[in-house]
Structures are given as structure tokens and as C-alpha cells.
């Protein structure tokens, strides 16, 4: 197999509830034309994949389709048992990335769920210990978004230029650069760029971004996968992944409303729909006794999905209120 180089760019824009985190993984490798009559000539191939840095560490897997368990809740602990076997490719980024049963990658990824579950890496000191234990490398640059001085000049000449550019922060002897202070550049639009030699370093670089920004790992109450929560950015009960409700093989009009919603958005929408259905049902109440029975059953099932919001429980709740005859 060819030798790979990996480049990870993770960008943070906005602050507070307007914060957006995006990631790109670019990998390059040399490809040889073995069919040529002459000596094989190498050409560099480059592939770029987009990913969500907040959720990707909870999506890593050694099989093409995500782990699924029919008629029961997603069990993250059982899914990790698969990682003890063959790990030829990593499928979490949407396309198969060659691992080749690399012992370093297998060792680190098998520890990663425990690190996320127990939030064992919350400081750079913790991060350093993990780096030594797993023999990982980190090559990182910090870049801050700034106005492009060439933008207006080239605009007058009707030539394209980006309005803003990302400029690396550099330390120069004898000069003070206040932007190098973490509390300064963290409040600006910025990105961290990593150069990695292995896929284990790629995963490690994403963990570094989460640690340096002091994000906390949580478990989504709906899909049950790990994710990193941005401080002061929602309650942290549900993650920004696509909701599993939207992928159900069901022609029901309700299910289609969740197709493009995240777990967090779908739960908000679900409760809104249930409240409206409850109001519509109560319009046809014949007496107080029927009303009390319906409200009691509604509240009972509502309490269940608040505590255990599985797909099965949500569908069961919807089916109950849809078919209930007052």
C-alpha cells in the first residue's frame, strides 16, 4: 500500500450559541503507473473529506455500516467489541481509510471510548500523558482569520480574492504578539491545522482540538453516541448528528419531518408535535373522566421518553396518541 500524509484543518467561527465547528481531512499518497512501458512515474493523489469534529470520535468504526441492534437501544459498549478484531479500514469519515490493522491505531481507538465516557482528558497535562502512553505525534499550527488587504485592490480590477484569509500565529524573538495568548485567539475566528503521518495521529489531533477548547464529552440521549459539547451551547442532552428518526423505513408523514433534523432539533420538534396532537385529541373529549384518563396516560408515556428517549419509545408514544380513541 502507498504511504500516506494527512492534513487536518478544524475551523471555529462565532461565539456562544452562534459557534460553528467544521473539519476537513485531506490525505495525499503517491500513485505509480505500473502499466507503463517505462519506469513507473509517481503522481501525487489528493482526497479531501469533510467531517464534524464534535461527533467524529464517537462515529469511528471498522465496518461499512454503523453498528445497529434490532429492537433495542444502541449499545456503545457492545459496539466496541468489534474493534478487538480486524481493523483494515476506518469507515467513520464516510469513505474507507486504510489502516492495515495498525497496532498503534487499534490500541488508541480501543481506549478512546473510555477516555470520552469518563472525560479522562480535560487538560493539556492529561493530553500529554495519553500522547506518551500511545506514542503519538502532534504537529499543529494556529491560524487567525484576518481581513485580506488584497480583496479591495483586486475587486477594483474585477478579479476574485477572498475577503478574509487565515494567517498563522508566529513568535518572533524580541516582538510581542498578544494574539498568541490563548484567551485572545480563542475569541476570534480561527483554525488549527495539523500535519499527521498516521491515522492514529489524525484522531489524536481531533482530540487535541477538543481539549484545548475545553469541550466536554457527553452521550446523546437519543442516538446514544459520544460527542463533544461546546460550553454555553444548549443543554447538552442531544447531539448535532442526523436524527435516527429521519432514517426509519416508514412512509408516515411524521417520520418525513425528521429527515434533515439533528437529534437535538428532532426532539424539540417531536415534543411540539405531541403537544399539538394532545390538544387536537382533547377537543373531542366527551366528559371529565375521559379527559383525566387520556391526560394520565399521555403524561405517563411522556415521562418515559424524557427518561429513555429511544426510537422505539418515541414511535410507541406517537402510535399511542395517534390511535387513542376518546
Is 221 within a domain?
yes
pLDDT of residue 305: 87
Quote the pLDDT of residue 295.
87
* Residues 118, 49: Cα–Cα separation, whole Å: 29
Q: What is the mean pLDDT of residues 270-292?
A: 82
Of 199, 229, 259, the last residue of a domain is 229
Inside any domain, residue 178: yes
Q: Are residues 160 and 213 in the same domain?
A: yes
pLDDT at residue 41, as a whole number? 65
Residues 37 and 141 in one domain: yes
pLDDT at 209: 95
Distance, CA of 89 to CA of 102 (rounded, Å): 10
**pLDDT 10s digits, 17-57:** 889 999 999 999 877 666 666 666 677 789 999 999 999 99
Tell me the per-residue pLDDT of 179-220, one tens digit each, with 9 for 90 and over: 667 677 888 899 999 999 999 999 999 999 999 999 999 999
Query: What are the tens digits of pLDDT across the range 217-271?
Result: 999 988 888 999 988 776 678 999 988 887 665 656 666 778 788 998 888 888 8
Domain that holds residue 36: 4-229
Residue 325 has pLDDT above 80, yes or no: no
- Quick one: 203 and 267 in the same domain? no
Asked if residue 238 is part of any domain, the answer here is: no
Query: In the numeric block, which cell numbers belong to residue 60?
Result: 469511528
Q: How far apart are CA 227 and CA 48, in angstroms?
A: 22
Residue-level pLDDT at 190: 93
Provide the domain count of the chain.
2
**Is residue 304 in a domain?**
yes
- Residues 52-101 have pLDDT tens digits of 999 999 999 888 876 654 434 445 555 555 555 678 899 999 999 999 87
Phi and psi at residue 202, to the nearest 5°: -60, -50
250 and 203 share one domain:
no
Q: Are 33 and 177 found together in one domain? A: yes
Q: So what's the pLDDT on residue 243? A: 87
DSSP 8-state secondary structure symbol assigned to residue 67: P
d(CA 190, CA 230): 16
**235 found inside a domain:** no
According to the model, what pLDDT value does residue 257 have?
77
Q: Are residues 150 and 297 located together in one domain of the fold?
A: no
Q: Quick one: average pLDDT of 301-313?
A: 86
- Do both 118 and 193 map to the same domain? yes
Say yes or no: 276 and 305 in one domain: yes
CB-neighbour burial class of residue 208 (10 A; exposed 0-12, middle 13-18, buried 19+): buried
Q: Are residues 94 and 36 in the same domain?
A: yes
CA distance to 29, 55, 164, per residue, from 26 (Å): 10, 18, 22
Q: How far apart are CA 238 and CA 26, in angstroms?
A: 29
Predicted confidence at residue 39, as pLDDT, reads 63
Residue 26 within a domain: yes
Residue 50 lies in a domain: yes
157 and 252 in a single domain? The answer is no
Q: Which of 175, 197, 229 is at the close of a domain? A: 229
Amino acid at each position: 500500500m502507498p504511504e500516506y500524509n494527512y492534513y487536518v484543518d478544524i475551523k471555529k467561527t462565532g461565539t456562544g450559541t452562534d459557534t460553528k465547528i467544521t473539519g476537513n481531512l485531506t490525505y495525499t499518497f503517491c500513485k505509480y503507473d505500473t502499466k507503463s512501458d517505462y519506469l513507473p512515474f509517481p503522481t501525487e493523489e489528493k482526497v479531501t473529506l469533510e467531517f464534524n469534529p464534535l461527533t467524529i470520535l464517537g462515529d469511528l468504526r471498522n465496518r461499512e455500516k454503523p453498528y445497529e441492534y434490532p429492537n433495542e437501544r444502541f449499545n456503545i459498549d457492545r459496539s466496541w467489541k468489534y474493534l478487538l478484531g480486524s481493523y483494515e479500514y476506518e469507515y467513520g469519515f464516510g469513505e474507507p481509510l486504510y489502516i492495515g490493522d495498525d497496532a498503534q491505531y487499534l490500541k488508541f481507538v480501543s481506549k478512546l471510548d473510555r477516555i470520552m465516557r469518563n472525560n479522562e482528558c480535560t487538560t493539556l497535562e492529561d493530553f500529554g500523558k495519553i500522547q506518551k502512553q500511545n506514542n503519538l505525534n502532534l504537529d499543529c499550527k494556529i491560524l487567525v482569520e484576518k481581513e485580506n488587504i488584497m480583496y479591495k485592490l483586486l475587486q477594483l480590477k474585477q478579479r476574485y480574492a477572498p475577503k478574509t484569509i487565515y494567517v498563522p500565529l508566529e513568535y518572533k524573538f524580541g516582538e510581542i504578539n498578544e494574539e498568541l495568548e490563548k484567551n485572545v485567539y480563542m475569541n476570534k475566528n480561527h483554525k488549527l491545522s495539523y500535519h499527521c503521518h498516521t491515522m492514529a495521529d489524525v484522531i489524536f489531533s481531533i482530540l487535541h482540538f477538543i481539549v484545548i477548547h475545553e469541550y466536554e464529552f457527553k452521550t446523546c440521549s437519543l442516538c446514544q453516541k459520544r460527542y463533544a459539547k461546546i460550553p454555553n451551547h444548549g443543554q447538552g442532552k442531544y447531539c448535532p448528528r442526523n436524527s435516527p428518526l429521519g432514517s426509519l423505513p416508514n412512509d408516515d408523514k411524521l417520520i418525513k419531518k425528521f429527515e434533515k433534523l439533528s437529534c437535538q432539533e428532532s426532539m424539540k420538534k417531536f415534543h411540539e408535535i405531541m403537544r399539538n396532537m394532545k390538544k387536537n385529541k382533547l377537543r373531542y373529549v366527551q366528559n371529565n373522566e375521559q379527559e383525566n384518563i387520556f391526560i394520565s396516560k399521555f403524561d405517563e408515556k411522556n415521562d418515559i421518553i424524557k427518561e429513555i428517549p429511544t426510537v422505539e419509545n418515541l414511535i410507541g408514544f406517537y402510535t399511542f396518541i395517534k390511535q387513542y380513541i376518546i
